[in-house]
Amino acid sequence: MQLDFLFGFAVSLLGTMFGNMINGPDEDIEKKKQAQQAHQVQAVVEQKVRDRVGARLEVPDWVKVVPVGHFAGVSVPSSSLAEARKSSVSDVVRQILGSIGVAYHHAYHNKVSGDPRRPVQEVSDSLSGSAHGLVLDVERNLVKSALSQDWSGRHIFFVLVSYPDSKIADVRRLSKGAKVTAEVIGNSENGYQIRVTEAHGVSVVLSSADVRVVKQNRFAKAISFFVWKVPSGSEQKVSFPVGPVTVCGSSAVFPLGLKRSDFVPVDYLLGAQV
């Protein structure tokens, strides 16, 4: 009986070991098949994404290789055509400002909210006010444009703007602003002769002159000591129409109608000096 029991236990043990040897390779094969299928599915998905992106997002040749004397602008992905076009123009403006060394502030915010199945995207793309003066000039010199879409269907706009070095030099000059100085070169009973000079080569049209008139009463101390107390002087701000006078890297002379006859008798008595 004991020998039969030992023989049966040995047979059972051998059967278990043999079964494990047989089932082990089958499980490994099944796992390999599943991994291979998953890899094939992932490869198919990736290929479809690449095909979709390649089919929709078409980048023009003049963006890949920008012609000399031009700037190419690319918009951020936008939900509307108007937003995409505005963004592409702003991209060119930023490039021009960077080439002339002008400081500017640019802010871009992309916010996605709502249900994951129906997300709502909000894009805010703003450029500082100092750059807005260039937008109209950039749009006037636009020579080519193209529209494409990314894989999610959002608009991407491309523009090509002609902006040679001569225009860059003009913008650099204009970015300095006007520098105008004025001096009195003569006076008479009829008024003063004023010379204005503009130094930065930026055209300026003068239509009025704001003048601060300061009168000093030279005899004020003596009169106040012996007779009555009088002020030591006075100050008055007046505006006079002129011209129009245009200066641009040049000088111009114009009359200013502040006459000596504007003096009152007491000014002569006090020894007023303008």
Tens digit of each residue's pLDDT (9 = 90 or more) over 152-196: 788 999 999 999 988 888 877 777 778 889 898 888 777 888 899
| Whole-number Å distance between alpha carbons of 196 and 240 | 15
- pTM (predicted TM-score): 0.48
pLDDT of residue 28: 66
Range of the domain at 109: 61-174
User: How many percent of the chain have pLDDT more than 90?
Assistant: 15
Please tell me the total count of domains within the chain.
2
Q: How far is 205 from 198, CA to CA, in rounded Å?
A: 11
Residue 8 lies in a domain: no
User: Tokens 């871009």 label which residue?
Assistant: 108
Angstrom CA distances, 117 to 109, 114, 122, 239, 252, stand at 22, 8, 16, 66, 69
Nearest to 156 by CA among 86, 100, 225, 101: 86
Does residue 148 share a domain with residue 170?
yes
Same structural domain, 165 and 139: yes
CA angle 252, 255, 261 (to 5 degrees): 160
Same domain, 166 and 186: no
CA-closest candidate to residue 112, choices 147, 152, 73:
152
In a shared domain, residues 77 and 125: yes
pLDDT at 10 over 50: no
Q: Which range, 44-53, 63-72, 108-117, has the best average confidence (pLDDT)?
A: 63-72
Question: Which one of 157, 174, 191 terminates a domain?
Answer: 174
79 and 169, same structural domain?
yes
Domain end among 174, 194, 213: 174
Among 26-35, 57-66, 97-106, 131-140, the range with the most confident prediction by mean pLDDT is 57-66
Helix, strand or coil, per DSSP, at residue 151: coil
Band the pLDDT of 71: cuts 50, 70, 90. very high
Please tell me whether residues 136 and 238 are part of one structural domain.
no
Q: Are residues 170 and 218 in the same domain?
A: no
> pLDDT at residue 59 above 50?
yes
The pLDDT of residue 204 is 87
**Between these two residues, 194 and 265, which has the higher pLDDT value?**
194
pLDDT 10s digits, 81-104: 989 998 998 889 888 887 876 555
Pick the last residue of a domain from 156, 174, 192: 174
Residues 65 and 170 in one domain: yes
Residue 97 lies in a domain: yes
Same domain membership, residue 196 and residue 140: no
Q: Residue 70 domain-assigned?
A: yes
Do 85 and 125 belong together in one domain?
yes
245 domain-assigned? yes
